Structures are given as C-alpha cells and as structure tokens.
Chains A and B, each alone.
Chain A
Amino acid sequence: MILGKYTFGDSVLVDTQNGASAFDVYLHEITHYSITQRSICGNLMIALNAISELRESKLKPFLFELHQSSIVTQEMTAMYVQAIYERMTKNDSKADEFKSCLSSSDYYKKFCLDGFDALISYPEYVINNQLLLIELATISLNFNITENEDICYTDPLSFRRIIMNNPSKYNADYRYKKLVNAAVQLINHNDTLSIDNIIELAGIEYINNNYQVVKDSVFRLCECLCAAFSLDFDDLINNVIKLRSEEDVLCDTLEGVNIEKIKQRFVPRALNYSVKFPPEGTVPLLNNYVHTVMVLLHDKQMSNVGISDKDVLILHHSFTKWHYAVPTKRDDAIKYVNQFPGEIICFLEDHHAFSTQFPIPQSRRVFYCFEGQLESFFEYIESKNINNIHAHQVNDDVYCVFATQKGREVFFTLQTKFVWKHIIDSINSERFTYINLPEGQNIDNCFYLSDKDWCKYEDVLSSIVDADPDNSTEGFLQIGHRIYLQ
C-alpha cells in the first residue's frame, strides 16, 4: 500500500484516510521533500518535472534518469529519518520493535545499504546541525550535470551514458554509497565523524551548496532546453519554474522538527492524486478561469493536518490539471463560491450541512459526489425521488453514473465496469429512466454544443478522476464519453 508520495512539487501527499497518520510516514515523505529542495540535482529534477508537465513532455525521460539514479539515496535516507525519530521519541523496546518491523520490510531489503543498522544505532546522528544521512544525501545530490557539454537534450540516453560513465560526479546513488561506506568505516575505527573526514575518505567531488549555485544550474538547464526545444526562456523562468527564496531552499531543517509546519505541507486525501500548483503569481488571475471548485466543509480530519476552523476550497483547471487547495474561512468561502462562474462540487456526506449552512442562489447547480457501492447510491437517489440517470464511460475500467432531477442538484458516483450489468438491469426493470442526448449533439464523442450540458459534466469528471494531462487531443483531456443507449 502506498501511504505517501513526493512528486517533485511543493507538497507532500499522504493518504490520511488509510492509516498513514503515523508521524514517521510524514517524516519519510518530508525527507524526500527536504533533500530534493536543498540540493542542486533535486532542484534540477523539480525544474524538469515542472517543464515536462507544462511545456515539453519529451523531458520526462530525463527526469526518469535522475530519479532512477538517486532512488537509494532518497529511500534509505527517508527510512533512516523514520528510524531516528523512533529512537528519539520512544523507549528502547519500542524503538527495537520498530527496527525489527522495518528490517523485514520490502523497502529495507531493496534500499538499505550495508551499514544502515550501524548508522541508526550510532549515538552521534547529528552532523553540521543536520541528521547525518540528510547531510550525506544532500552532498550526494549536489552535482551539476548541466555543466557537462556532451549532453544532448533531445536524447535521454545521453544523460544515462554521462551518469554511468562519470559515477563519482553524476550518479547520486554511487556517491551516496561511497559516503555511507566512509561514514561506517569511520564509526568502526572510532575516528572523528565530520563531513570533511567523510568526504575525504569517500573520495568524491563536492560542490559547496548555496542559493546562487542552485539558481545558476537551473538557469543553465533552461537555456539548454530552450535551445533544444525552441522554448521561451523568460516563459520558463517566470511561469514554469518557481525558484524559492533562499531561506526556503537552504535553511529547512529536520533537526528541531516543527510539527505544525510540516503538517501544513500535507494535503488531505481528496487531493491525493494530482495536486499541481500553477506558477507563482498567477493564482489571483487564474481563479477567474478555473472550471470547478470542490467545497470541503471543515471536519476533524482537517484539524489533523493543521487546518483549523476553515473549509477547504479545491480549485481545478480542467485543461492544465492545476489542482490546488485553499483553506478559507466560512464567510469568505461562501462569498467566493457565490461569485464563482464554474461548477460547484461537494461530497455527498456534506449534503445536509452544505445545503443548510452554505447559502448559495437557488439557480446554482451543485454536483454531489458519492463514494460507495452503486446500490447504496441508487437507494439514496430513490429516496430523493430521482428517476433519471445517465452514464459516462471514463475509461476501460471506470464508469460514472449521474442522477439528475429538475432542481439544482446532480448526484454522481464513480464505479468499476463490473456494475454495468446492474445499471442495465435497473433500466430494463424500469427502476430508472436512462437519459440519452438527442442525436447530433455529440461532438467527438465527448462535448456537446447546447447547455444540456456535457461540457460541464466533463469539467466535473476531469476534476474528480486522475486523468493524464499528457493524454490530450487538441488541448482537451480525453476522459472517455457519454454512453448512448439504444
């Protein structure tokens, strides 16, 4: 089970509804965040990720190469931080229990190098005011591959060749192994454990990190990419790559963890599939153009992730898949939603609270998303005297059933293909009436001209399903088609 994820962005995702509330899972993900954001290679990966998603998808293989060659560095360090946290906060027997559990895990067997056990048992786990392996991981990732003149930015394999042919310069995992081995060797010989000693023994090149070095390497990457793919340099720098302030990049520390600060970097499960922030500075403008807003009324779970006394508005742009959350006070949320021109989405469990506590004009339509079994959905809409349904095939495996009435409420649920027979049976038995659109209104099996109103449904579906932004035709996401029943 995947409990958390870091995808080279500004947020860390944790599945807060599937038992991943243990703080060590938060720490695992925040470690990825931390060592990526504080290192040169990490910042190049963030830039490559942003550019590949928003401007040039052919760059993804370059990100893949850097990611694959640094995976041990990332995962072993994250597990080390988890283990140290257990040591710092639990008594010895609990920490040993955790260690034993950790050492039988798939992750441990794959990612933990020889010496891991010695390192987590070593009492001096802080070096340069950092946890030891955070510091070693940052050093491992502190190389500037863009300086290499032999890279061909239209050939991802040129990256691989350069990384493999120069492991001590550009292969993060190779550098990390050397550093870890050196640290373990020093520990075993009771020598002084200092960064200088470790680097000297490991024999690797080390770039002293600072904001200017990070910035220069990202600018150099952008220059090369602009030349290779005819991209606009100013556009990349200003709109795609959000260079963080010096303080944010380099002064973050896991030592003396600020729990509230960390929790605020996590987002609840509703966002757990595709959080993508728009470029900095565009948010106020963009809010006029987003297609849907999902309203999550405040609940206890939000308090658990550091959002107190606020609702959360999730804004979604259907074409770019920008998808981000804004915690907002109730009054402001009501004001915003009332002025919002796009579609409003709520979870069905908030139906009563939303309709009684969140005044919006009668004319506004609200889509309520139901998470549960199809039969429960059918029973619910029957209880509301709704008889009309129509369906959308999202992909080979997933269907969406919409239930509508003349009022302003639309109920919908995502279901697997296995329920299709049940839907047909319920229509044949006249339990529900299936609403086909008149022939001729279907464009590209997807969009409809009239306000009857497929574009809106498309927007809602796009904000709920995790569609691939690269899978597009003429700029629109392909997320299946409405089903026409004979």
Chain B
Amino acid sequence: MESSTIKYFEDTITLLEQTNKVNPYVIADFKNILYTDEASIREIERLCYFVISNLCDDRPLIELQDRNKNASWYDYFRLQVYLFLNGNKKYYEDKTAITVIGAIIIDDIATDVFNHLGVDNRLIPLIVSLIVCVIAKMSVRAWCEHFYNETIRTNPVLEEELKKLEGKK
C-alpha cells in the first residue's frame, strides 16, 4: 500500500474519532479492514455506510426528493463519483492519486450535491474521505466496476440517472 494512501487512511480515522458521533467499535472495525489484506468488499461498504449513518445521527440516509425511494443520497452521491472517475480513467491505475481524487471530489461535486440534500457542510469533507478510503482500498478500477455491477445495474433509478448525467456531459 502506498504511504500516501496509509496517511490518508490515518488522517480520515483521526477525524472520524474526533467527531465523537460514531460507534467506537465500528471505527475500530473500519480501521482494521482498511489495513487487512483479505477484506470482503461487502463488509468494507457496510462499515463505511454504518459510519456515515452515525455521522448523520442515524437518520435513515435521506431519500432523494421527488425520486424513487430506492435511491438514497448516498447512492446518488456515489453515482456522481463514479461518473467523475469513469470520465477520468487516468486515475484508474494511479495509486498515488488518492488525495488528489478526494480534493477534486470535494471541490467539484460534493458541495453542490450535499447542499442540495441538506447535509451538514462540516461533515462533507469527512464523508467524501470515507468514500475515497473505500475506493482506495479496492482500487479505482475495481470500485467502479463493482459499483456499476452491484448498485447501478440493479437499480433502475440510478441507471436512468446515470444516462441523464452522461447526456449532460
């Protein structure tokens, strides 16, 4: 694992602990799984979702207004990240780019999306960092393929949304 990636994980976990909002045992699990070689993708995603849910005070993650309830803002946000990464394939194999990806997502995507959905501004960088940790753990290419196969393709709302967003580009 790249040292920049390890540093990114460490910084994110430290910030997470400082919020005092997240189940400490889940933080410990999340930390362990980031450093474990044989990690289950589903378990990484479950822990990431759990942590973000705690950060949002355990309100069921807000469903998109005026859309099918099967798409949560969490899915919608990841869709935007997917779109960005899929359009910038140079990041697919560049393992040192993880902090760059996080910064670009925060600047280019996150604020708009999260403000629109009423998520606390102060939590945005941390939520983005958590999702980026998952991407870094799996590799950008693997995450994109996994997200497309397991989430977008199984959810007609997200599939439709992806088509719309791709059309706008």
B5 at the interface (CB under 8 A from A): no
> Hey, what's the 0/1 contact readout for B59-81 against A, CB within 8 Å counting as 1?
01100000000101000000000
User: When chains A and B are docked, how far (Å) is the Cα of A322 from the Cα of B46?
Assistant: 39
B43 located at the interface, meaning its Cβ lies under 8 Å from any Cβ of chain A in the complex = yes
B24 and A68 form a contact (CB under 8 A): yes
Q: How far is the CB of B56 from chain A (nearest CB, A)?
A: 10
Contacts of B61 in A (CB 8 A): 106
| Contact status A114-B25, CB under 8 Å | no
Q: Is B42 an interface residue (CB 8 A)?
A: yes
Alpha-carbon separation in the docked complex, A68 to B50 (Å) = 12
CA distance A109 to B44 in the complex (A): 11
Tell me if A69 and B46 are in contact (CB < 8 A): no
Q: How large is the interface on B (under 10, 10 to 19, 20 to 34, 35 or more residues)?
A: 10 to 19
* B23 interface residue per 8 A CB criterion: yes
Within the complex, which residue of A104, A109, A160 is in contact with B46, where a contact is CB–CB below 8 Å? A109
The CA-CA distance from A173 to B23 in the complex, in Å, is 12
Asked whether any CB of chain A lies closer than 8 Å to the CB of B28, the reply is yes
Q: Give Cα A156–Cα B46 distance, bound, in whole angstroms.
A: 27
Q: Contacts A106-B60, A109-B49: A114 and B40 contacting too (C-beta < 8 A)? A: yes
- By a CB distance below 8 angstroms, the chain B residues around A69 are 25
Contacts of B29 in A (CB 8 A): 173
Contact partners of B25 in chain A: CB under 8 A: 68-69, 163-164, 171, 173
- What is the CA–CA distance of A87 and B11 in the complex, to the nearest angstrom? 45
- Contact digits for B20-60, partner A, Cβ 8 Å, 1 yes 0 no: 00011100110000000000101100100110010000001
In the assembly, what is the distance between CA of A69 and CA of B49, in Å? 17
Once the chains bind, are A114 and B50 in contact (CB under 8 Å)? no
Is A427 close to B, CB under 8 A? no
Main secondary structure of the interface of A (DSSP, over half): helix
CA of A318 to CA of B28 in the docked complex: distance in angstroms?
41
Contact in complex: A160, B24 (CB < 8 Å): yes
B53 partner residues in chain A, CB cutoff 8 A: 106, 110
For A101-118 the 0/1 string (1 means CB < 8 A from B) is 000101001111110000
Q: Is the CB of B43 within 8 A of A110?
A: no
Complex interface: chain B residues within 8 A of A113 (CB): 43, 46
Contacts of A160 in B (CB 8 A): 24
A71 lies within 8 A of chain B by Cβ: yes
- The complex places the Cα of A114 from the Cα of B70 at a distance, in Å, of 21
Contact A114 B43, CB 8 Å, known A106-B61, A109-B49? yes
CB distance from A48 to the nearest CB of B (A): 17
Q: Which residues of B contact A173 (CB under 8 A)?
A: 25, 29
Given contacts A113-B43, A160-B24, 12 further A-B contacts (CB under 8 A): A104-B70, A106-B53, A109-B49, A110-B46, A110-B53, A112-B46, A163-B25, A164-B24, A164-B25, A171-B25, A173-B25, A173-B29
Q: List 30 A-B contacts (CB under 8 A).
A: A68-B23, A68-B24, A69-B25, A71-B23, A106-B53, A106-B60, A106-B61, A106-B72, A109-B46, A109-B49, A110-B46, A110-B49, A110-B50, A110-B53, A111-B50, A112-B46, A113-B43, A113-B46, A114-B40, A114-B42, A114-B43, A114-B46, A160-B24, A163-B25, A164-B24, A164-B25, A164-B28, A171-B25, A173-B25, A173-B29
Chain A residues with a Cβ under 8 A of chain B: 68-69, 71, 104, 106, 109-114, 160, 163-164, 171, 173
